[in-house]
A and B are shown apart, each in its own frame.
Chain A
Amino acid sequence: MPVLFKLKDHFKENQLYINRSIAALIVVGMLLALLLGRLFYLQIYHHATYVTLARNNQVRMISIAPTRGIIFDRNGEVLADNIPDFSLEISPNMVKDIDGLIETLSTIVNISETDIKNFHKQRKYKGRFERIPIRNKLTEKEVAAFSIQKYKFPECDIHANLARYYPHGEAFAHVLGYTGIMSEQDLDEIDQTKYRGTYVIGKYGIEKSYEETLRGTAGYEQVETDARGRKIRNLEEIPPIAGQNIYLSIDSKLQMVAYDALQNFHGAVVAMDIKTGGILALVSKPSFDPNLFVKGIPQEVYTKLQHSKDRPLFNRAIRGQYSPGSTVKPIIALQALDLNIVTPKTIFNDKGYYQLHADGRKYRDWKEEGHGLITVTQALTESSSPFFYFIGDKMGIDKLHDIFVRFGLGTATNIDIEGEATGIAPSPAWKKKTRRQSWFPGETLSTAIGQGYTLVTPVQLACLAASIGTRGQRIQPTLVKATQIGDQALVEKEVKALTPVKIKHEEYWDVVIGAMENVVKSQQGTAYWVNAPRAKFTMAGKTGTVQVFGIKQDEKYEADKVKAHLRDHKWFIAFAPIEDPQIAIAVIIEHNPGSPMVARKVLEAYFAEKSNGQ
Chain B
Amino acid sequence: MDNNHIVPFKQIYNNDPSNALHRNSLITKLHIDLPMFSCMFLCFLIGLILIYSAKLEFHLVQKQFINFLVAGVLMLIVAQAKPRAYRAWAPALYFSSLAILVLVLIIGDISKGAQRWLDLGLLRFQPAELMKLAVPLMVARTLDEHILPPSPKLLLLSLLYITVPVVLIAIQPDLGTAILVASTGIFVLFFAGISWKLIISLATLCVASTPVLWFVLRDYQRKRILTLLNPELDPLGSGYHIIQSKIAIGSGGFFGKGWLNGTQSHLEFLPERATDFIFAVLGEEFGLLGVVILLMLYMMIMLRGLYIGMRAPDTFSRLLSGSLIMTFFVYLFVNIGMVNGILPVVGIPLPLVSYGGTSLVTVMIGLGMLMSIHTHRTLVRK
Contacts and interface: CB of A to CB of B under 8 A. Distances in A.
B267 A129 contact: yes
B190 A188 contact: no
Interface string B118-146: 10110010000000000000000000110
Contact of A42 (B191, B246, B264, B322): B246
A490 B173 CA distance: 37
B336 A193 contact: no
Interface stretch (B63-71, B94-102, B235-243, B361-369): B235-243
B264 A2 contact: no
B223 interface: yes
A42 B340 contact: yes
A7 B3 CA distance: 10
A192 interface: yes
Interface stretch (A23-31, A101-109, A553-561): A23-31
Given A35-B295, A220-B236, A42 B250 contact: yes
Interface in A298-338: 299, 302, 313, 319
Interface string A11-50: 1111011101100110010011011101110111011011
A580 B186 CA distance: 70
Interface residues of B, number: 73
Contacts of B219: 191
A393 B238 CA distance: 66
B306 A39 contact: no
A32 B251 contact: no
B92 interface: no
A124 B253 CA distance: 30
B105 to A, nearest CB: 13
Interface in A173-196: 180, 183-186, 188-193, 196
B37 interface: no
22 contacts: A2-B145, A4-B5, A9-B148, A14-B318, A17-B309, A21-B310, A39-B340, A42-B246, A43-B249, A43-B253, A43-B254, A43-B288, A43-B291, A44-B253, A46-B250, A60-B269, A128-B268, A184-B121, A229-B267, A229-B268, A418-B113, A419-B113
A28 B302 contact: yes
A38 B342 contact: yes
B247 A53 contact: yes
Contacts of A190: 220
Given A17-B319, A40-B288, A42-B250, 16 more contacts: A2-B314, A4-B5, A20-B193, A35-B295, A35-B337, A35-B340, A39-B288, A43-B288, A54-B247, A61-B236, A124-B59, A127-B267, A190-B220, A191-B223, A196-B237, A204-B113
B351 interface: no
B315 interface: yes
A345 interface: no
Contacts of A24: 190, 306, 322, 326
Contacts, number: 181
B49 interface: no
B117 interface: yes
A341 to B, nearest CB: 41
Nearest to B120: A185
A142 B287 CA distance: 51
Contacts of B248: 54
B252 interface: yes
Contacts of A319: 113
Interface string B167-199: 000000110000000000000001101000000
Contact of A9 (B115, B145, B147, B264): B147
A188 B172 CA distance: 9
B322 A21 contact: yes
A392 B124 CA distance: 49
Contacts of B309: 17, 21
Interface in A196-239: 196, 203-204, 218, 220, 225, 227-229
A34 B342 contact: yes
Contact of A61 (B112, B149, B235, B310): B235
B299 interface: yes
Interface of A: 1-4, 6-7, 9-14, 16-18, 20-21, 24-25, 28, 31-32, 34-36, 38-40, 42-44, 46-47, 49-51, 53-55, 58, 60-61, 63, 124, 127-130, 180, 183-186, 188-193, 196, 203-204, 218, 220, 225, 227-229, 299, 302, 313, 319, 418-419
A281 to B, nearest CB: 21
Contacts of A220: 235-236
Contacts of A228: 267
Contacts of B292: 36
Contact of B315 (A13, A39, A302): A13
A58 B253 CA distance: 18
Contacts of B148: 9, 12-13, 16
Interface string B1-23: 00001001000000000000000
A58 B269 contact: yes
A133 B283 CA distance: 34
B342 A203 contact: no
A184 B119 CA distance: 12
B266 interface: yes
B144 A203 contact: no
Contacts of A11: 8
Contacts of B295: 32, 35-36
Contact of A184 (B115, B117, B147, B326): B117
A39 B337 CA distance: 10
B52 interface: no
Contact of B190 (A12, A20, A127): A20
A2 B380 CA distance: 11
Nearest to A299: B118
B114 A20 contact: no
A63 B236 contact: yes
B310 A14 contact: yes
B333 interface: yes
